[in-house]
Amino acid sequence: MKNKKESLVLGLALFAMFFGAGNLIFPPSIGASVGDRWHMAILGFFTTGIGLPLLGIMAFNKIGSLDKFAEKISPKFNKVYCSLLILSLGPLLAIPRTGATTFEMGIAPNFPTINPIIVSIIYFSITLIMVINPSKIIDNIGKILTPIILLMLASIIIKGIFFKIGTPIKAKSVENAFSFGFLEGYQTMDALASVLMGSVIMSGLKAKGFSDRKVQKNLIIRAGIIASIGLALVYGGLLYLGATSSSVVSGLGKTTLTMYIADATLGQVGNKILGICVSAACLTTSIGLVTVVGEYFSKITKFSYKTIVTLTCIFSSAMSVIGVGAIIKISVPILIILYPITIILIMLNLFEVKNSIIYKTSICIAITTSIIEIGYNTLDIHTFEYFYNLIPFSKDGFIWFLPIILITPIITIFGNLRKQRKSTNNIYKATKY
């Protein structure tokens, strides 16, 4: 009975930590963009927004430590990758975005004259207070903040479903709804965060006396499933509301559209409810990510946990003032590189692949193709145009997929043959002498 209750608390905590800034503003925008093809967009968004994070939690559950996540490539690569991942999900992108979104959607609409710098300082001061004692994080998030988020979102979604804003119309700007939803799911950063959130949950379980690995694994899997169900209901509802608004409004920004939906469903009180919901959702994500940054860098540097989380909150507070739009723009090239690498590592660790050649080849191809995509799409370097157009599925955002499927097995076979030949030669030399 105790374990079932703990699974529920953990599941609510995971839901709250995943459901942050991007998770609230992207689904409605996707729905509005795809219109009557919202069903396919949901499948795409669910893949990167729910499926991959759940697999990430399960992959972390198998390896049990960030130190082992990419160690089959090399210990140095693992340290560099994990550091870049945590910095991106931490003070560089994700944490500042939670503060910026809280201001733009939660505070500014209700207090238009307030200074964003003051809001940022207050927001990250609260975050710092919550993360100073990591043993109580899971209880604080799961028991206090999550119910607030769910109640507020449920009121908007249920009202919007039964009293429709409009009717989904045929979208002209999006050709492939599944691909569009899949790629937009990148911006939530949840698949990247999943392997890190696993460490937060693991630390919380140890602090509460759950030291047995088998018990830990069962609790984490159950919690992941509970969180996934909650995310599916919320994502699906928000995306559908965005689709129904496609016949009523067009051209609204992501944050503006979400605010419009809240106002259309609940009237003037809608934005006030949304403000509370956004603030709570962003705060839970910020708490989880700051904790991860503190725990990881306190292990690989000489700085203490409290020093690192304090510096993280100060830097994130300064970054958040530039706004959501600017942070999203900065994040695009970073995510194009990190996401394929993370997806590959999640799958290989989940299926417990042992061959290091598969890891090294897949990651090299992922990095190479990602550089081509960034060079052509983001930096507009025409030298990369030929290679970009040559690779299948590049225009759908899967430039890395087919090269990995085709090239990795070939290199792996040749690599294994070379190892066998070398081993045979060594045995021959040893027996000869």
Tell me what percent of the residues of the chain surpass a pLDDT of 90: 8
Q: How many domains does the chain have?
A: 2
Tell me, what's the pLDDT at 49?
A: 85
Per-residue model confidence (pLDDT) at position 113: 86
CATH number at residue 213: 1.20.1740.10
Q: How far apart are CA 243 and CA 237, in angstroms?
A: 10
Are 30 and 41 in contact, with CB atoms under 8 Å apart? yes
- Same domain, residue pair 108 and 201: yes
How many residues appear in the chain?
433
pLDDT 10s digits, 327-355 = 777 777 888 888 888 889 888 888 888 88
Residues 27 and 257: beta-carbon distance below 8 Å: no
What's the pLDDT at 125?
92
Q: What's residue 308's pLDDT?
A: 93
Query: Are 336 and 363 in the same domain?
Result: no
Helix, strand, or coil (residue 35):
strand
**Eight-class DSSP state of 50:** I
Check: CB of residue 101 under 8 Å from CB of residue 255: yes
Q: What is the pTM of this model?
A: 0.78
Instruction: Indicate whether 420 and 300 sit together in one domain.
Output: no
Please give the residue range of the domain that contains residue 378: 355-433
pLDDT in tens, 224-241: 888 888 888 889 999 999
* Half-sphere exposure at residue 280, Cβ-oriented, CA atoms within 13 angstroms: 23
Identify whether the C-beta of residue 44 lies closer than 8 Å to the C-beta of residue 180: yes
Rounded CA separation 32/369 (Å): 30
Mean pLDDT per block of 10 residues along the chain (433 residues) reads 71 74 80 88 89 84 78 88 85 85 83 88 90 62 64 83 84 81 82 74 72 76 85 90 85 80 81 76 80 86 91 91 76 82 88 85 90 80 80 78 83 73 56 53
Answer for the pair 73, 359: CB distance below 8 angstroms, yes or no.
yes
Measured distance CA(404)–CA(210) in Å, rounded = 39
What Å distances lie between residue 177 and 26, 42, 171, 228, 422, CA to CA? Answer: 14, 9, 9, 22, 50
Domain final position from 354, 385, 404: 354
Same domain for 130 and 279: yes
Instruction: Based on the fold, state whether residues 245 and 337 are members of the same structural domain.
Output: yes
What span, in angstroms and rounded, lies between the C-alpha atoms of 251 and 34?
Answer: 13
Q: What pLDDT is recorded for position 310?
A: 93
